[in-house]
Amino acid sequence: MSDLSIGLKKGETLGDSVSSSLKQKKSKKNGKAFFSAKQTTIGGAVSLTGVGVHSGAPVSITLQPADMNTGIRFAVSHLDKDVEIKAHCEFVDSLTLCTVLSSKCGAVVATVEHLMAALRGMSIDNVVVEIDSGEVPIMDGSSMPFVRSIEEAGIVELDAPRRYIKVLKPVQVEEKGCWGQLLPFNGFRLDVEIDFETPVIGRQRFVSDITREVFRDELARARTFGFMADVEKLWAGGHALGASLDNTVAIDKDKVVNSDGLRFADEFVRHKALDAVGDLGLAGYPLLCCYKSYRGGHALNAKAVKALLSDEEAWTFVDAPFVAPVRVSDRDGLIHEQSSGSAVMVAANFAADRN
């Protein structure tokens, strides 16, 4: 099976073939495509450098624009060959401490979750991530450096409808007192709850519909966190070699070690919500659902996605319709175009079509 068709049901196709050029809709007759109705990519190449949080090795990545129906792919070098790994749960190789993707030939890319969260959170459908090492750089431990790079490059609409996976019935997974649940919902909502014994964290909950603006302003800056008591064990196992107070919120007993403190009072649960955006992005397409989790993490999130895709009655593909904006005049009589309603609601309420 072509990796472009992973997740498609029997008899379904992606529709349009990959275009050789990027196109932005500029038809005056039909207006500008409604946000979330069209597939997107970035407006130009953008590069970042940093270190791998587990390897400690220097790494550079370049985000490259990609044509419609490409999806999100990681381009890595393996045995002197260029290999592309699609960002899909089919290729998840490990979920210990971070999300690792691998190809059948053995090529690996680790710690993809924060970049995946940025791409999904900023509504990017198609991009190729060129990487010169086996691990995405940790940057400051959040998704914000990637978000800023995406904004620097710009977001371009492509001449193809966005395809969604629409959840049709509840799907729940459980593991050692933790659970995750995907529910039908007209949009994309997260309801994430964590519960730690340390009073520094305790019980925290984040609930919100996730739009590009909400992701950027409410989640993207939340950093990964860890416990000082675990450091020596992680180092002995070859992990966290690149971790520092510059990229991790460190907790020692009943206090946060970082001198600058927290970015949000509930930064811990916000980071778990950020991780969920990235992990759910491994469904291969944006989801129309509400995702609820209790004490979840990468493994539970991935387990929920796999459980959903393995149940053909639990989901279907839907392609977003074209929605023309409403033309209105201001006080000076000038004509402007504005959105006629919530893009998420429009995307969620069009008729599902299995054929």
Q: Are 99 and 298 in contact (CB under 8 A)?
A: yes
Angstrom distance (rounded) from CA 320 to CA 303: 27
- Integer Cα distance of 229 and 243 in angstroms: 14
Kindly provide the residue ranges of all beta strands, DSSP E only, lying in 168-266, ordered along the sequence.
Answer: 171-175, 178-183, 188-195, 203-209, 225-227, 249-252, 255-256
239 catalytic, yes or no?
no
Cβ contacts of 168 within 8 Å, gap of 6 or more: 184, 313, 314, 315, 316, 352
Q: Which of 267, 44, 292, 316 is nearest to 171 (CA)?
A: 292
The helix (run of H) or strand (run of E) holding residue 81 is: strand 81-86
Which of 22, 24, 25 is closest to 45 using CA atoms? 22
- How far CA 305 is from CA of 144, 167, 173, 194, 272, in Å, comes to 25, 11, 9, 19, 16
In 3D, which of 230, 232, 235 has the Cα closest to residue 198?
230
Q: One of 78, 271, 298, 336 is an active-site residue; which one?
A: 298
The continuous run of DSSP H or E covering 303 comes out as helix 298-310
Angle at 253 between CA 252 and CA 257, to 5 degrees: 25
Q: How far is CA 253 from CA 56, 200, 276, in A?
A: 25, 8, 26
For residue 130, give both structure tokens. Answer: 């060129």
CB-based contact 148:12 (threshold 8 Å):
no
**Catalytic annotation, residues:** 298
